[in-house]
Amino acid sequence: MSGWVPVLVMPNLSVEEAVGTDDIAIVRASDPRVIAKAEKEPNLAKFVRRFTDAFSEKLTPSVLILRDGAPSGFRDVSAIAGFRDAIAFSTIVAGRALHVTKGGGFGYPTWVETFDFYTWMLGRDGEHLIAQTPAMMGTHTVEKFHGQTTPGLPQVNLLSHYIDGPIFDEVMRRWTLRFRGGEGSWEDRALFRSLNMAHAAMMMPGGVEYGFYDVGRLLTLWIFAFERRARRHSSTNCPTNWMGCGS
């Protein structure tokens, strides 16, 4: 079996089965591919075991992993975000559609924050935790780490039948075409621009203070999610300190 590299963790999400392709997937931290990497990087095992909820109840995060030898384009930030957006969209929209049409969909992820990547991750050196966001860059030790889920959002269990298979399969076919090399077609770039905006539209409207105008803002973002298919723009980058990034 080809080696796999853990790239980011997702503590708000628990997956029963691996979700993804032969090159990229979201799995449980107890997945054999994560365990195999943890045997070589002991701090990885320590890191994924140090997650709890706000009340110190232990939980197991999910882990986004990439196959060693996967096309370099798949390691790009946009590719990783696009993969996450494909899963989130295929799941949340399926649940909402089921709720509207049949009164079902309970247990499905409702908000896209369920699929958030955690800020901190073990660096490529296998020794230190690193964080890189628009607001900060930091490094720290695993021993002092205490990870938590997002306040106000429970960890959601993602079952395989929650995912709209036809939507996910088609988006992932386009994902491969878009990111395996080069810029891809305009249509594929437009698709993932739209999914990026849909990601923002699927966020919680706010915290304990949310109100009518917050819900209206999300409706506006859904409109933009469709309109962005008419804009032409693309960009790529890859933080080299992620375990799964770089050559």
pLDDT tens-digit profile of 138-187? Answer: 999 999 999 999 989 999 999 999 999 999 999 999 999 999 988 889 99
Q: From residue 31, give the alpha-carbon distance in Å to each of 14, 110, 113, 136, 184.
A: 12, 25, 23, 31, 32
Residue 13 lies in a domain: yes
Whether the CB-CB separation of 3 and 36 falls below 8 Å is answered with yes
Look at 24-33, 54-63, 124-133, 226-235 and tell me which has the smallest mean pLDDT. 226-235
Whether the CB-CB separation of 77 and 236 falls below 8 Å is answered with yes
Residue 188 lies in a domain: no
- C-alpha 220/C-alpha 202 separation (Å) is 11
Residue 106 pLDDT grade (very low, low, confident, very high; cuts 50, 70, 90) = confident
Residue 185 lies in a domain: no
User: Which of 117, 118, 120 lies closest to 144, judged by CA?
Assistant: 120
Residue 136 lies in a domain: yes
Residue 237 lies in a domain: no
The model's pTM is 0.87
Question: Whole domain around residue 66: which residue ranges?
Answer: 4-170
The answer, yes or no, to whether residue 235 has pLDDT greater than 70, is no
pLDDT score recorded for residue 105: 84
Work out the mean pLDDT of the chain and round it to a whole number: 90
Return the sign of the alpha-carbon dihedral for residues 105, 106, 110, 113: negative
**How many domains does the structure of the chain reveal?**
1
User: Which of 2, 32, 30 lies closest to 15, judged by CA?
Assistant: 30
Question: Strand, coil or helix: what is 83?
Answer: helix
Q: Which residue has the higher pLDDT, 229 or 61?
A: 61
The answer, yes or no, to whether residue 237 has pLDDT greater than 90, is no
pLDDT score recorded for residue 45: 96
Residue 184 lies in a domain: no
Residue 37 lies in a domain: yes
The answer, yes or no, to whether residue 117 has pLDDT greater than 90, is yes
CB atoms near residue 30 (< 10 Å)? 11
Whether the CB-CB separation of 98 and 104 falls below 8 Å is answered with yes
pLDDT score recorded for residue 233: 45
Residue 216 lies in a domain: no
